[in-house]
Every structure is written in structure tokens, then in C-alpha cells.
Structure 1
Amino acid sequence: MTSTPLWRNRDFALLWSGQVVSTLGARISATAMPLLVLALTGSPADAGLVGAAATLPYLIGHLPAGPLVDRWDRRRVLLASEVTAALTLATVPVALWLEVLTVGHLAVAAFVHGLCFVFFGLAEAAALPLIVPPAQLHTAIARNEVRTRGAALAGGPLGGLLFGIDRALPFVVEALSYAVASVALLFLRRDLQDRTPEPPEPLWRAALTGLRWIWRHPLIRAASLLVAASNLIFQAIILVLVVRAQDGGASPAETGVMLGIYSGGGMLGAVAAGWLHRYFAPRTVIIGVNWAWAALLPLFLVTDAPLWLGTIGAATTFAGPLWNVVIVGYFASLVPNHLQGRVTSASKTLSWGVMPVGALVGGMLLSWVGAEGAVVVLSVVMLAVAVAATASPAVRGSRAVAEAASVADPTVGGSPGGRGSADGGTE
């Protein structure tokens, strides 16, 4: 395929630029949401409940959404997701101004927003191999990591600052950001559909196709389960850090700065992952990243100062992008494009479905044992995950991409998404 530089790929540039804006808006409101719940009720459990509602679609939405994304027009899925998210988030400032906002309203808005995120994410992941050539797929994923981490870096401080000015302002900004992203989507030219003919099958059976594919691929199965465990931990950690900072007297702006620093590590990690991914095999990344997290989490006990909490958090987030670029790139190189929606949805059901549990666990731990006790419990669980990653036969015996592809599905060689070169380097 063509060797045109990625930034001269018009459709990728449009999609990437629009998502910079909407992702920034999402990070702004993600910072403001727990602050708003705590301001309304003063209850960490309520904040955990709203966080669980936001992530519940990851558990119940991915499996049915995957087959639909493979069947429906992906361009329309992308656009409908952005427009629906914009309209939903716009109800929050309106309710605030009318003084009728409730925790239930926030939970429903968070749930719909999360469902839009599920559909958009699956459609974007399925469309990306059709927008960029196989040789540039890992680079495109790395650029998306920079986009996400950069938005998180700026979104934390902006969310805290805007919330300090007016509680409604972060949600107004997010609604507008989705509107801008929707306009960018209107100018995409590329056909985002895979045209591989498939026999019709019921939705439930199509959803199970993705799970069966993952089950036949030991490394992808193990990686999905390990991500599930770490996602549960870090979903809880975010709320714990917000409460721990507030217990230390942090203002909303200081809390936003803390979350911005926390995300800054991810931004640096995303930039580094763009070239580091060439030098690490998947098993090296899986084992190494989990042990890095196990070593870093107990450091949250050392201080409740927002700047230091953010700095320690930045060290934990630095490793995440390398995991995403190597493992997601490995994944995308193996899966035939006409199955991308179903397999990605199955993987995310396993790995992201625990997030609502993590939010609830964070709220309950804060209520039962306080912020310090919550850090201790989550650190012990992270240590157990690192041990499991090291002991896993699937991780230790992982194959190169080309060999794994032939084992997973010997018919995928001619898929439109293609298979990139083996990503693993020397350990």
C-alpha cells in the first residue's frame, strides 16, 4: 500500500483532530463529575455510583454493540454517537441552572454518555485499519494514544478550573466539543465498511463469535483478563486519589492539577511508545508493566499532597500507552476486519466490563476503610495480578504475530485489515 506520511492521510487527520477536541471535553467533564457529586451530596458512595453508571455500558453494551458496528454503517455510528453524547451532556448544565439536578440524573447522563463511548470506540477501532495502511497501524494507534493522553493532561486542570468558576461550565464545554467533533466526521471520504460477504446470523450468535475467537488465542485471552484486573484497580484508584487530596485540603483547582499531572505521565508514555514498541515483545510488556504498577501503587500512602499524588500517578500512567500500542496493535494485526467489531467488543467486555465494579469498590472502600486503607487493599490486589501475569503459560509462551495469526484463524491472511509485521522485539 501507499507510504504516504500519516499526517497527509486526510481521513485520519480529520478523525484524529475531531477526537482531540471531543476527548478534551470528555476529560474536562470526567474531572468535574465526581467534584459535582461530592458538592451535591458530600458522599463518596454517590460519586462511586455515578462512576459505576458511566462505566456500566462497558459491561453490558460491548457484546451487542460489536455485531451492530460490523453490520451498520460505521460512519453513521460515529456521527450518531457524538451527537447523542452532546445532547445528553447538555442536560446537566440545564438542570443545574433550573436547580433540579439530582444524583439519579447524573447517573443516567453518565450511562448514556458511556454507551455512546462504547459504540464510537468500536466503530473507530474497526474503521482504523481501513483508513491507514497496515504498515502504519501501530503508528496510528500510538498517535491515538497521544491524543487521549494529551487531552487527559489538559482536561484535568481545565476541568477543575472551570468547575471552580461555575459548576455547569465543564459540561457546557463538553457538549460543545462533541458538536465540533461531529462536524469533522461529516467530511470523511473513506468507505469505512468491510465488504466481506457473511451469512446472516442472530445477534446473540454474532456476539459470541468474538468470544470464541478470543478463547482460541491464549495470549489475547490472558491479556484481556489481566487488563480487566488492572482496570478494576485503577478505576477505584482515581476516586480514592480525589478523596485523598480533598482530605488533605485540596481545592477543586488543585485536584484538577493533580489529575492533570497524573495524566501527564500517560502523555509522555504515549510519545515514547511511538518508538519503544519496536523493541518489546508482548510478553515483556505484559509482565513488566504489571510489576511496575505493583511497585508504584503503595507510594500513594506516602503523601496526601496533590502535587505528589499526581507525580506518583504520572509514573503509573507512563507505562500504560506502551501496553496499548503493543498489545492493541498485536490484536488489530491478527483480527480480520469483518470481525473487528465483534472481537473488539468481546475483548472490551472482558477487560472493561469490570470498570463499574471498580467504581463501586472504590466508593465502598472509601466508606469502610478510608483513603489510606483503600490504597493498601488495591496495592495488594495489584501485586497478585503481577504474580499471575508472570506465572501465566499463555504470556510466557506467546508467539510472534504471523505465527499466532495462523493458529487463531488460518483464513485471515487476505483480510482487508491485513497483518502487519511481527511487533515483538528482543526481550
Structure 2
Amino acid sequence: MTALWRNRDFTALWAGQMVSALGASITSTATPLLVLATTGSAKDAGLVGAAGTLPFLIGNLPAGALVDRWNRHRILLVSELLAALSIITVPLAIWSGRLTVAQLCVVAFVQGMCFAFFDLAERAALPRVVEPEQLATAIANNEARSRGATLAGPPIGGALFAAGRAWPFLVDAVTYLLAAIALLWVRRDLNSENPPREPVLRSAMEGLRWVWRHPLIRTGILLVAASNLTFRALVLVLVVLAGKQGASPATIGVMLGIYSTGGLLGAIAAGRLHKHFQPRTVIIGVNWVWAALLPLFAFAVVPWQLGLIGAVTAFVGPLWNVVIGAYAVTLVPNELLGRVNSAGMALTWGVMPIGSLAAGYLLDGVGPTGAIWTLSAFMLLTAVAGTVSRAVRKAPPLVSSHTPEGAER
């Protein structure tokens, strides 16, 4: 068996996405800063955030069906190139003085749709790239890649924005192009061996039906949806709260970088610890950790305290992702993997537009502190729901790659 890091296809895919994820993290920090600096409206920032996540709600189901029938390598490449073309319009609009919230919404939507297709294609292609025994390790490395990007991206994004509002978006465009070049080194056949032949809509619904037939998977997805809604709203709340505490864009970037440090450390730990935790322990325990930590944000008085509390919340997330992700790629037949992943993502990521909009309205209505208490209460209800769920409490252990059942995030 070839060592994972000697696998050229995996290494090229991983490295290209490391660069691309870094660029996306840079602009995810710069975009709300740009909206707030341009319009001063938290609602506008929430609207742009909602536009960027709307594809997860309306695009994931058909994207999953198409990923299982189209050329996955081509989907990966076209997604990167379209994302580069859309993001380059932002600095052009800034320089011409014609930037509008409507344009930012369109760009964010295109970016989100490209990400939806790319992420589903990459997830479905992974079992075609690495050996079955390496899947959990590969997922852990992908998780570390994502967390590393979100660690480095916010400070860079804040610093670039302080140097010039166009710079973060220019850098992001370059990272998309570099990622597209890296994909040219991936030579393995990534496609499904048994692509679906039925109509796209019927094919997409098959993934949703597969998810709904598994009580543990169904419950896990609903719990993840609740936590995703909470944390999507929380990021904008923290940006506004730090701004009210007097933080500059660069300082806010550092705060978000501290936040992301916990995620990177958690991803590194998850690569070693995922074999020692049962799914019910992860599902119940992670939600209670979040429920206990979220109220602490209301008592933070300086941005670095917000970052440290966020780092602890981010630390436990990768363990969930690795354990549940290993379930998904080993339990689901590969010809269904794109559709099942898309069904899970449509439900768990489809709530993100609601989170972004809710953050904007909460900030305007009750302010940052009131928004934190509202999100804390919602997270507490989520933890209680996970604890009393019979499907979660009766979840079987992850014994091997042939006999697991679990939830997907």
C-alpha cells in the first residue's frame, strides 16, 4: 500500500485545496469588513453572507446527483476557474467606484455554488484516490487543511484589507488559479463506476431517501444543522462585537485567527483520537461543550478573549467531522456518495443563510450581547435534544469500515 503522502493524486488535490481554502478564508474575513465599511449596515453584511450560503440550500441536492454522473475531475477544475472569474470582479468594482451590495451578493452566490460542487466532488472522489484503510487519515488531513486555512486566513485577510480593500480579493483569485493548476496533476479516474441513469431530480431524491431511512444519520444531521446555524450567526456577531470594542480590521483578523487555532489543534488531535470515541459520545459531548462555552462570549471585554473562547469551541468540532465523515465514506456505496453527501449538506449547510440573516437582525434588534444570549439558548436546546434522542443514545460503536452506522456532517 502506497504511503498517503507518496500518493501523487492525493497530494496534488490536498495541496491545491490548501491554497484555495486559504484564499477563501482571506475573503470570508474581508467581505463583512468591506460591507460594514461601505454601508455600515449589519443587515447588509448578513444579506451578503446569506447569499454566499444559499447554494447549500438550493444547489446541494442537484449537485450531488450531477457529481455522481458527470466527470468529477472536470467539476473540480471548472469550479475553481469560475470562482476565480467571479471574485476578480470585486477589486475591479472597487477601483471603478461602482461596488454595490447587489454585486457582492451575486459574487458570494457564485462562490458558494462553486464550493458546493467542488466539495461534493472531492468527497465522492476521495475513496477513488486513497486506500480504504487510509480514508479516516485522509479525512483528518483534509480537516487539518481546512482548519489551517481558517487559522492563517483571517489575520492575512485583515492585514490585506487594512492595506487596501481590493487586495484580499485579488489574492483569492490567484489562489483559485493555483488550485486549478494543481488539479492537472491528478490523473486517477475519479468517476463513479455505476453512474445513475434516472432523471436528475429523482436521482437527487434517492440520496435524501437514503439518509431519511437511517434514524441515527437523520438525527445527527438535524443536530449539525442546528449547530451550523448557531455558529454561522456567531461569526458575524463576534466581528461586530469586536468592532464595538475598538478593534481595527487587522485586530479582528487576528481574533478570528486565534479562534481558528483551536480548530487546527483539534484537527491534529482528531487524527489520533478518532478511534477512541464512540459516535454517541461525540454527538452528545460536543453539543454540551458548545452549550457551556457560548455564554462566555457575553463576558469577554477585549477581542483576544473572544478569540480564545472561540478557539476552545473550535477545538472539538474536527473530532465530530472526522468520526462522522469516516462513517459516511465507508457506509455509503460510492455510486451514492455524491447524492448522500449532498442530501446531508443540503440539510446541514442549507440553514446557513438563515444564520447569516438572523445575525443581522439580532444585531440590529438586541445588539451583540443580546445576540450571544439568544444563540446560547438555542445551543442549549440543541444539546438537550441530542441527549434525549433514542437514536443517539443507542448508536452502535464504529467497529470497522464494514459495519458502522453514523451521522454525517
Q: Within the alignment, does 1:25 sit opposite 2:26 as a pair? A: no
Map of 1:290-305 to 2, 5 A cutoff?
290-305=287-302
Code of the residue aligned with 1:19 in structure 2: it is Q
Code of the residue aligned with 1:266 in structure 2: it is G
Q: Within the alignment, does 1:220 sit opposite 2:217 as a pair? A: yes
For these two proteins, the number of residue pairs brought into alignment is 406
Match of 2:391 among 388, 391, 394: 394
Match of 2:82 among 84, 87, 91: 84
Task: Note the C-alpha offset of 1:190.
Answer: 0.5
| Residues 85, 138 of structure 1: alpha-carbon distance in 2 compared, 3 angstrom cutoff | same
What residue is the counterpart of 2:113 in the other structure? Answer: 115
What residue is the counterpart of 1:55 in the other structure? Answer: 53
Task: Note the C-alpha offset of 1:217.
Answer: 1.2
Aligned sequence identity (%): 62
- Tell me the secondary structure at the aligned position of residue 195 of structure 1: coil
What residue is the counterpart of 1:287 in the other structure? Answer: 284
Match of 1:103 among 101, 106, 113: 101
Q: Within the alignment, does 1:265 sit opposite 2:262 as a pair? A: yes
Code of the residue aligned with 1:348 in structure 2: it is M
TM-score (norm 1): 0.93
Q: Within the alignment, does 1:318 sit opposite 2:337 as a pair? A: no
Task: Note the C-alpha offset of 1:304.
Answer: 3.4
Match of 1:378 among 368, 375, 385: 375
Code of the residue aligned with 1:270 in structure 2: it is A
Structure 1 contact 135–420 (Cα < 8 Å) conserved:
no
Q: Within the alignment, does 1:337 sit opposite 2:334 as a pair? A: yes
What residue is the counterpart of 2:363 in the other structure? Answer: 366
Task: Note the C-alpha offset of 1:399.
Answer: 2.1
Match of 1:203 among 196, 200, 204: 200
Q: For 2:298 and 2:340, locate their aligned partners in 1 and report how far apart those are by CA, in whole Å.
A: 39
- Tell me the secondary structure at the aligned position of residue 136 of structure 1: helix
Q: For 1:156 and 1:204, locate their aligned partners in 2 and report how far apart those are by CA, in whole Å.
A: 38
Q: For 2:188 and 2:87, locate their aligned partners in 1 and report how far apart those are by CA, in whole Å.
A: 29
Task: Note the C-alpha offset of 1:183.
Answer: 0.2
What residue is the counterpart of 1:353 in the other structure? Answer: 350
Q: For 2:333 and 2:399, locate their aligned partners in 1 and report how far apart those are by CA, in whole Å.
A: 13
Q: For 1:88 and 1:282, locate their aligned partners in 2 and report how far apart those are by CA, in whole Å.
A: 40
**Which deviates further from its counterpart, 376-385 or 213-222?**
213-222
What residue is the counterpart of 2:325 in the other structure? Answer: 328
What residue is the counterpart of 2:172 in the other structure? Answer: 174
Code of the residue aligned with 2:303 in structure 1: it is P
Structure 1 contact 214–221 (Cα < 8 Å) conserved:
yes
Structure 2 contact 68–195 (Cα < 8 Å) conserved:
no
Structure 1 contact 89–109 (Cα < 8 Å) conserved:
yes
Structure 2 contact 255–307 (Cα < 8 Å) conserved:
yes
Task: Note the C-alpha offset of 1:5.
Answer: 1.5
What residue is the counterpart of 2:66 in the other structure? Answer: 68
- Tell me the secondary structure at the aligned position of residue 161 of structure 1: helix
What residue is the counterpart of 1:411 in the other structure? Answer: none
What residue is the counterpart of 1:40 in the other structure? Answer: 38
- Tell me the secondary structure at the aligned position of residue 126 of structure 1: helix
Deviating above 6 A after TM superposition, structure 1's stretches of 4 or more consecutive aligned residues are none
Task: Note the C-alpha offset of 1:422.
Answer: 5.3
Q: For 2:203 and 2:331, locate their aligned partners in 1 and report how far apart those are by CA, in whole Å.
A: 19
| Residues 312, 197 of structure 1: alpha-carbon distance in 2 compared, 3 angstrom cutoff | closer
Q: For 1:163 and 1:316, locate their aligned partners in 2 and report how far apart those are by CA, in whole Å.
A: 26
Structure 1 contact 134–420 (Cα < 8 Å) conserved:
no
Match of 2:185 among 187, 199, 203: 187
Give ranges in structure 2 of 5+ residues lacking alignment. Answer: none
| Residues 323, 211 of structure 1: alpha-carbon distance in 2 compared, 3 angstrom cutoff | same
Structure 1 contact 159–256 (Cα < 8 Å) conserved:
yes
What residue is the counterpart of 1:140 in the other structure? Answer: 138
Task: Note the C-alpha offset of 1:400.
Answer: 3.7
CA RMSD across the alignment? 1.3
What residue is the counterpart of 1:6 in the other structure? Answer: 4
Q: Deviations over 1:303-361 (max 9, x none)?
A: 13110100000000000000000011111110000001110000101111000000000
**Which deviates further from its counterpart, 187-196 or 289-298?**
187-196
| Residues 70, 84 of structure 1: alpha-carbon distance in 2 compared, 3 angstrom cutoff | same
Q: For 2:222 and 2:241, locate their aligned partners in 1 and report how far apart those are by CA, in whole Å.
A: 29
Match of 2:152 among 151, 154, 158: 154
Q: For 1:341 and 1:421, locate their aligned partners in 2 and report how far apart those are by CA, in whole Å.
A: 20
Structure 2 contact 79–118 (Cα < 8 Å) conserved:
yes
Q: Deviations over 1:130-156 (max 9, x none)?
A: 101111100000000110000100001
